[in-house]
Structure 1
Amino acid sequence: MKQLITFLAAAIICSAATAQTDSTKKQKSDTIRIGGIIIVKNGKKDKDVNITMGRKNNEKKKNSNVSTNWWILDLGFANYNDQTNYTTATADGYLKNRPGYPGLDKNDFKLRTGKSVNVNIWFFMQRLNVIKHYVNLKYGFGLELNNYRYKSSVSYKEGGYIPYTAGTQTNAPFIFRDSISFTKNKLAADYLTVPFMLNFTTNPGSHKKGISISAGVSAGYLYSQRNKQKSGERGKDRNKGDYDMERFKFSYVGELGLGPVHFYGSYSPKSMYEHSLDIRPYTVGLRFSNW
């Protein structure tokens, strides 16, 4: 009897020890991933399930070989480098001088720099990986809008009667110094533009860190140009015309990114006019972009 009791006590102790050992075992977990959702099942019970949205902390995001940035905005200033020979421009008949007054010269085409603005609206820009995302091709398509605000009272005409002459007419565009003062006098020139640049970045994994530099060229097509004026004598006046401006525009373009802040610039080595005036436009400003 004592032997039976001893045997049963030993069996109970062994069973308890075994149960305690099993309870401390690390239970095997199953992991299921569906897209950005991670489901981890711990143990056999349905309630021991963890669901995580997104990537694990130790997972690194892979950069896409082609990334697209939609609706980029540029805000900056427009100006130009005036290399015109005004004697030749007057002889060509493009500039009409008022009798008894000095001829048009470089001072008449000086701009109000704080009010001469450039606004670019890029429908999209894409970045194509070339070398491990450190070197990329960058290109896009958008609108380039330039407003040149004059200090003087120069006016544009597409043709017609020439001021200060006795009924003389011409079919050619011309520019003259007007007889009144304008509170607002600007030339607007708008382009459809395609930029193409080589991009270098020090931190491909984050657009908010590191430095990025882009340099290249752009090609633009002039689809609208107009001379808008405002005065007490005439009110608001908007003259549209061809003005013998170059239909196509070629520019050198660049971009500098310092973390999340981006600067842009452009310079055209060729005049924005077909003949007579040698005026080479440039822009500089801030770019609001994800990269």
Structure 2
Amino acid sequence: MKRVIILLTGISMALTSFAQTDSTTTTSDTVRVGNMIIIKKPGKEHSGPHSSTTIIYKKKVRSTQSNVSTNWFIFDLGFTNYNDNTNYTSAAIQDPATGFAPGATEDWFKLRTGKSSNVNIWFFMQRLNVIDHVVNLKYGLGLEMNNYRYKEPIKYNTDPFTQVSMDRTTSYKKNKLAADYLTVPLMLNFNFTPNREEPFGVSVGVSGGYLYASRQKTKTDADGKKKNRDDFDLRPWKLSYIAELALGPVKLYGSIANQSIFEKGLDQTPYSVGVRFSNW
């Protein structure tokens, strides 16, 4: 019996000693800072108060991109002009009774390049992923506003029909034709850096616009500011070829119509280039 008691006492002391030894096992503190993990381990008894620190960097994994992204209220600011292929010797131009601009030459319709502006306001644009966010479909809805600023004092007369004349009787301080469109663009987008917030890429496509407003605005010494609202024989619809170039934070755009904006008389095909203020 004594032997059993002695044996049990010895086992109990051994277990107690083991438990005390095990309770002194060092523990570590872990701190996460962004994509960095800091592990601090206390030193051993003989090493004094010093401790060891291990820093581990984890690669930041980009969150899954949405297949459809929306950009609200995009602004374009640029210049507009047109290619003038009008035959100014034709009866459609020169006929005194029915011609569009009797006596006109190409110089009548030359523009002040630096003051002929194109301003676009896109209510939204969406980008739909097609192939790995590299090939996308872009589309939207917005307003195109074009101001063609004339050098010469030409005047659009609308009664009984549209006919342009040269007005040398007064001094014009401002003379422009404005044409505004409600437009839907559709482009195929190639994004060469899909993982960047400010991508590098190119987009090409077409746009269709409906002429919702047009007017000639003049400012003269005699009459001050005047606006003449009419369609001036402008086409109600405009189809354009469009492109966009994304260079990181800088984005450029361009467009050119597929035909003259006038239904008859003048053969003037407009184009615009400028800077786009957009997130992508």
- With normalisation by structure 1, the TM-score equals 0.78
Shift of 1:18: 1.9
Contact 1:144 1:191 in 2 (8 A): yes
Structure 1 SS opposite 2:66: coil
Residue 185 (structure 2) pairs with residue 195 (structure 1): yes
Structure 1 SS opposite 2:21: helix
Contact 1:188 1:225 in 2 (8 A): yes
Shift of 1:242: 1.7
Contact 1:207 1:260 in 2 (8 A): no
Shift of 1:59: 2.9
Shift of 1:27: 9.3
Contact 1:144 1:192 in 2 (8 A): yes
Give the one of 84, 92, 100 matched to 1:94.
100
Give the one of 224, 238, 246 matched to 1:235.
224
Give the one of 5, 14, 21 matched to 1:17.
21
Q: Any stretches of 5+ residues in structure 2 without a counterpart? A: 1-5, 31-57
The higher radius of gyration belongs to 2
Structure 1 residues 149-188: aligned runs within 5 Å: 149-159=149-159, 171-179=160-168, 180-188=170-178
Shift of 1:87: 1.7
Alignment-mate amino acid for residue 252 of structure 1: Y
Give the one of 168, 184, 195 matched to 1:205.
195
Shift of 1:25: 5.3
Shift of 1:12: 5.2
Following the alignment from structure 2 to structure 1, what is the Cα–Cα distance between the partners of residues 239 and 212? Answer: 15
Structure 1 residues 6-45: aligned runs within 5 Å: 13-21=17-25, 24=26
Structure 1 SS opposite 2:227: strand
Contact 1:158 1:242 in 2 (8 A): no
Shift of 1:178: 0.8
For structure 1, which segment, 236-245 or 144-153, has the greater mean C-alpha deviation from structure 2 after superposition? 236-245
Give the one of 245, 252, 259 matched to 1:270.
259
Shift of 1:13: 3.7
Q: Any stretches of 5+ residues in structure 1 without a counterpart? A: 29-55, 97-102, 160-170
Following the alignment from structure 2 to structure 1, what is the Cα–Cα distance between the partners of residues 124 and 19? Answer: 71
1:260 corresponds in structure 2 to 249
1:132 corresponds in structure 2 to 132
Alpha-carbon RMSD across the aligned residues, in angstroms, is 2.2
